[in-house]
Amino acid sequence: MKNFLVLLITMLLGLLVACEKPATKPADNNLSGRWTEQVPDGMSYYEATLHSFSFDKDSFNAKILSWTDVVEIIYTQVCDTCPRIIDSCASNFGLEEIYVRGTYTQRNDSIYFTGKTCDSLYQRDIQPRCNGIADYNEKFLFAKNDTAIILNTDKASSFGYGIILKKE
């Protein structure tokens, strides 16, 4: 009986050691890295927006580049005969770069971004020159495979439907 008890305790200790959790390492983030939208070959456009995201754990950096070949002619005064050609961001003449840093979360089939506009080094929060918006709060429908992320497949974008980001 004593041998049976020793054998039982030994087996239980062995089972306990065998079932011990291995040391856990942090899970790799499947979004980590840089994802960039490309202008499709052969696509003609006069106005577009390109997105580029870098993901790290639960944070992101984004560069949103918008441009247009369309300009508005405005008159500085009602009787002014010399119009100025400007666009919505007069100092850039059709080109606007917005940099954003913040955090993101994924839930179900959506990704949620919460951030602030910042300088091009992603260090200081700033007020954008044109639209006056400093907060970036966006929600996108989200689909991903090994080489691409598609945001908002159900909505028109500059180059068709959805924002297609390729992994760099």
Structure tokens belonging to residue 26: 């942090």
Segments forming the whole domain that contains residue 98: 33-167
Please write the tens of the pLDDT for every residue from 2-40: 676 665 576 665 655 555 444 433 334 578 999 999 877
Tell me the average pLDDT of the chain.
75
Residue 153 domain flag: yes
Q: What pTM, to 2 d.p., does this model score?
A: 0.66
Q: What is the C-alpha separation between 49 and 34, in angstroms, rounded? A: 17
CATH number reported for the structural domain that contains residue 133 in this entry: 2.40.128
Please write the tens of the pLDDT for every residue from 65-96: 887 776 555 545 544 444 444 444 444 556 78
Residue 160 domain flag: yes
Residue 11 domain flag: no
Residue 76 domain flag: yes
Residue 131: the pLDDT is 55
Contact 60, 53 (CB under 8 A): yes
Residue 14 domain flag: no
Residue 100 domain flag: yes
Domain count, the chain: 1
Q: What is the C-alpha separation between 23 and 17, in angstroms, rounded? A: 13
Residue with structure tokens 């974008």?
157
Residue 24 domain flag: no
